[in-house]
Amino acid sequence: MANAGIGQAVRRREDFRFLTGTGTYTDDIDRPGQVYAHIVRSPHPHAQIRRIDTAAAERASGVLAVFTHDHLAADGVGGLPCGWLVKGKGDKPMVEPPHPVLATGVVRHIGDPVAIVIAATRVQAADAAELVKIDYQMLPVVTSTAEATRPDAPRLHTDAPRNLCYDWELGDKAAVDAAFARAAHTVTLDLVNNRLVANAMEPRAAIGEYDRATGTHTLYTTSQNPHVIRLLMGAFVLHIPEHKLRVVAPDVGGGFGSKIYHYAEEALVTWAAKKVGRPVKWTADRSESFVSDAQGRDHVTSCALALDKDGKFLALRVKTVANMGGYLSTFAPAIPTYLYATLLAGLYATPAIHCEVQAVFTNTVPVDAYRGAGRPEACYLLERLVEKSARQTGIDRAEIRRRNFIPRAAMPYQTPVALQYDSGDFVANMERALKVVDYAGFAARRADSARRGRLRGIGLSTYIEACGIAPSDVAGSLGARAGLYEVAEIRFHPTGSVTVFTGTHQHGQGHETTFAQLVSEKLGIPIENVEIAHGDTAQIPFGMGTYGSRSIAVGGSAIVKAIDKIVAKGKKIAAHILEVAERDIEFKDGKFQVAGTDKAMSMGEVAFAAYVPHNYPLKELEPGLDETAFYDPKNFTFPNGCHICEVEVDRETGVVDIARFIAIDDFGTVINPMIVEGQVHGGLVQGIGQALVENCVYDGASGQLLTGSYNDYCMPRADDVPSFQVETNESAPCTHNPLGVKGCGEAGTIGAGAAVMNAVVDALATVGVTEIDMPATPHNVWRALKNAKT
């Protein structure tokens, strides 16, 4: 037990089932009498549907039914809701066009669902789907973020002139303009933050089931937040009351944001199961994932930094156009606003910041949160701009950061973009990273690379993120249409073991281990006696799920709060049995002890007494030991850190090799260092993937997705990346939650892109290349080198 508590690298209890092939992912589930759905999707990015003929498909072998929008409309099925209302300049509400479950007359992106075919087998459904005849009238197309608002661009939604969803701003424009007017240096940068595909290795899947005897619907789905799906689908789409709707998210093979949202297929299988009287299963293949999973990033940005003569930052100005895709995905509007502009202070004491964001509709797959979600975009532009400022002013890249960091002594620190940082030692993290990388020795390493004919570059990136989402009242005032607390129920069983029900959901993060460590330590019971349950709305009180690195900070805090209630009740029980006053009982190491004596009861004995209350204060206290707590965070948490990357570039081929990568991260208190390190590694490779290889590309003229498979969309592979040197700094824990934890899931992705690209630019600058956009593929680098030479 001494090896199972907080701070120990406990081996994961999830691993046995995953290593032996005995996990249960959604597609592993088969329900009795199950039939299969195939979704007919638009092959066109923008078209009018003139006619849908399903007759041949309906006659095909094994087909039970073919449904289109008309069938949904006849049953009063609603559209997919958006969970966040952003108000633009002058408090103007965003344009929120309808997002039908099946297209109603117009398709707006490749993959837009048009019909659903249900058949006895998966291949019969796919065969019959080929027979659905749809007469499309092609419409003009816009896929480019930068071109969406041009007057001649085709309009996607009648209520969205210039394809504008909102035109939003944050910060003090007048103060920024004044600072630029008196600046000694002005540094400007135009950037593209490339569109990405989340690509969790498990494709999405869903099974709908209807129990005629009880009138209950069940949905099994690959979701990061089953309660949110139950709420959105039940209340807005299918009008099923929550007590008649159960949503189960079993083992889920990665999410990275893409499995947060309420998708059409979930509503379709749930609805269709009742229509055909059989459980209905749908499993995406990878091609379908590329055109139906919400995608990430896709910003075009102009930004500028004003500095005084000593390199102190005076003001930051940012103008961004953010692509929403064809419709608003569940949380899309919040990503390039409240999770982006609010992070533009970074680690710096920049006194004035102004950010304008235009969100636009285009004929592309909807965009929503992808690992980091807004924060990688903010970090990327800021750190590219800081590195450029260092080059332009001649101040060393580390020194210019040192001069501008918010000192630890200034905490809590109110930024000019709404957030109040509670803790962090930014200087210490950077100094440590510089030491680990041997910053002073870089010149020698560069010379060594040059001797081998290679260009070496070094890049720094510092980041801060707002995690632990979120204080519900703050989120509500910013347009969130839900609360963002978390729930935990600690249920002691009579013989002393415990089941913990958490509203968070794990899809790779190892909560079953981390949370069990926490409960074992706090209650002083063996970790083997603790079971963590999650993912089933029939079992778990209403929780908000897992995203935004919130699980330990919000979900873990809810567990601590429930534990506190257990201990408080346990003290009353122990005081009665031990015949002392409650105030004389101390709880420590799993024992309720009479202070100053050796009289004590174990946690297990107290639990037993609660369920077999023969000697028990029945007049004052209910039997049982089962407590539920909801925790609403007081503030965001602010994980932060410093990443340093060194690259070598091959001048002949343009290939970029990452020679070294160091990450020093402040996640507050660390519960399981092995799991935390794994989260950092995975995050780093997603950030490096964006910087070097990944790019989701639509053809401008045809609107076709050019990167619709793993043959065209490059995923980072084991031989593309090195082993990383990572460390955590636990010296500045979160000040406002009971564990001092900050969250670690997204940090790697947030900091890595800028570190890599700064290193690439540093390498290329030696031969006259000054700027390059992500991804720095061999082709892009080679082209930049060519252009610089001529």
Which range touches another protein (CB under 8 A), out of 49-57, 167-175, 504-512, 773-781?
Answer: 504-512
Q: Does 691 bind another protein (CB under 8 A)?
A: no
Q: How many CB atoms lie within 10 A of CB 533?
A: 14
Tokens found for residue 145: 């973020």
Which residue in 174, 213, 440, 718 binds another protein (CB under 8 A)?
718
Of 289 and 529, which has the nearer Cβ to another protein?
289
Binders of another protein in range 86-115 (CB under 8 A): none
Which residue in 155, 681, 736, 783 binds another protein (CB under 8 A)?
681
Of 46 and 534, which has the nearer Cβ to another protein?
534
Q: Does 682 bind another protein (CB under 8 A)?
A: yes
Per-residue binding string, another protein, 626-665, x by CB under 8 A, is: ----------------------------------------
200 close to 295: Cβ distance less than 8 angstroms: no
Q: Does 251 bind another protein (CB under 8 A)?
A: yes
Burial class (CB in 10 A: 0-12, 13-18, 19+), 781: buried
Contacts 24+ apart (CB under 8 A), 714-722: 714/775, 714/777, 715/199, 715/689, 716/685, 716/686, 716/688, 716/689, 716/692, 720/688, 720/692, 720/693, 721/658, 721/684, 721/685, 721/688, 722/658, 722/659, 722/660, 722/661
CB of 407 to another protein, least distance (A): 32
Give residue 676's identity as a one-letter amino acid code: V
CB of 18 to another protein, least distance (A): 3
Which residue in 42, 54, 144, 199 binds another protein (CB under 8 A)?
199
Of 163 and 551, which has the nearer Cβ to another protein?
551
Binders of another protein in range 48-77 (CB under 8 A): 61
Which helix (H) or strand (E) segment is 354 a member of?
A: strand 352-361
CB of 252 to another protein, least distance (A): 7
Q: Does 677 bind another protein (CB under 8 A)?
A: yes
621 close to 575: Cβ distance less than 8 angstroms: no
* Alpha-carbon distances of 323 from 47, 143, 408, 586, 681, rounded to whole Å: 20, 9, 37, 57, 28
CB of 257 to another protein, least distance (A): 12
Burial class (CB in 10 A: 0-12, 13-18, 19+), 230: buried
356 close to 128: Cβ distance less than 8 angstroms: no
Q: Does 22 bind another protein (CB under 8 A)?
A: yes
Which residue in 724, 739, 761, 764 binds another protein (CB under 8 A)?
724
196 close to 694: Cβ distance less than 8 angstroms: yes
Of 127 and 209, which has the nearer Cβ to another protein?
127
Q: Does 254 bind another protein (CB under 8 A)?
A: yes
Tokens found for residue 170: 């944050």
Residue that is written with structure tokens 């035109």 in the block = 167
Of 14 and 627, which has the nearer Cβ to another protein?
14
**Residue among 398, 188, 172 at smallest CA distance from 305:** 188
CB of 708 to another protein, least distance (A): 11
Q: Does 719 bind another protein (CB under 8 A)?
A: yes
Q: How many residues sit close enough to another protein to count as binding (CB under 8 A)?
A: 60
Q: Does 477 bind another protein (CB under 8 A)?
A: no
Which residue in 137, 709, 770, 787 binds another protein (CB under 8 A)?
709
Which residue in 84, 166, 168, 256 binds another protein (CB under 8 A)?
256
Cα-Cα-Cα-Cα dihedral sign, residues 286, 292, 293, 296: positive
Which residue in 554, 566, 685, 764 binds another protein (CB under 8 A)?
685
367 close to 323: Cβ distance less than 8 angstroms: yes
CB of 570 to another protein, least distance (A): 34
What are the residues whose beta carbons fall under 8 Å from the beta carbon of 718, sequence distance 6 or more? none
Q: 16 — phi, psi (to 5°)?
A: -55, -45
Of 387 and 646, which has the nearer Cβ to another protein?
646
| Counts of helices then strands in the chain (DSSP H, E) | 19, 28
Q: Does 253 bind another protein (CB under 8 A)?
A: yes
Q: Does 507 bind another protein (CB under 8 A)?
A: yes
Q: Does 526 bind another protein (CB under 8 A)?
A: no
Burial class (CB in 10 A: 0-12, 13-18, 19+), 349: middle
DSSP 23-65: --BGGG---TT-EEEEEEE-SSSSEEEEEEE-HHHHHSTTEEE
Residue that is written with structure tokens 């070094």 in the block = 458
Distance CA 259, CA 225 (A): 8
Residue that is written with structure tokens 């700064």 in the block = 758
136 close to 50: Cβ distance less than 8 angstroms: yes
Of 357 and 705, which has the nearer Cβ to another protein?
705
Q: Does 17 bind another protein (CB under 8 A)?
A: yes
Which range touches another protein (CB under 8 A), out of 170-178, 248-256, 574-582, 732-740?
Answer: 248-256
Of 252 and 470, which has the nearer Cβ to another protein?
252
CB of 256 to another protein, least distance (A): 7
Per-residue binding string, another protein, 735-754, x by CB under 8 A, is: -------------x------
Binders of another protein in range 204-233 (CB under 8 A): none
Q: Does 675 bind another protein (CB under 8 A)?
A: yes
Of 23 and 526, which has the nearer Cβ to another protein?
23
Which residue in 14, 209, 383, 422 binds another protein (CB under 8 A)?
14
Q: Does 25 bind another protein (CB under 8 A)?
A: yes
Which residue in 2, 201, 440, 701 binds another protein (CB under 8 A)?
201
Q: Does 528 bind another protein (CB under 8 A)?
A: no
Q: Does 252 bind another protein (CB under 8 A)?
A: yes
506 close to 644: Cβ distance less than 8 angstroms: no
Which residue in 154, 678, 738, 778 binds another protein (CB under 8 A)?
678
Binders of another protein in range 747-786 (CB under 8 A): 748
CB of 29 to another protein, least distance (A): 9
Q: Does 3 bind another protein (CB under 8 A)?
A: no
Which residue in 45, 250, 503, 510 binds another protein (CB under 8 A)?
510
Tokens found for residue 207: 């099974």
Of 22 and 414, which has the nearer Cβ to another protein?
22
* SS3 category, 498: strand
What are the residues whose beta carbons fall under 8 Å from the beta carbon of 241, sequence distance 6 or more? 234
Q: Residue-wise over 78-100: b if at least 16 C-beta within 10 A, else e? A: bbbbbbbebebeeeeebbbbebb
Residue 737, CB half-sphere, CA atoms under 13 Å: how many?
36
Angle at 253 between CA 248 and CA 254, to 5 degrees: 105
* Contacts to another protein by CB under 8 A: 11-12, 14-25, 27-28, 30, 61, 122-123, 199-203, 251-254, 256, 285-287, 507-510, 674-675, 677-678, 680-686, 709-711, 715, 717-721, 723-724, 748
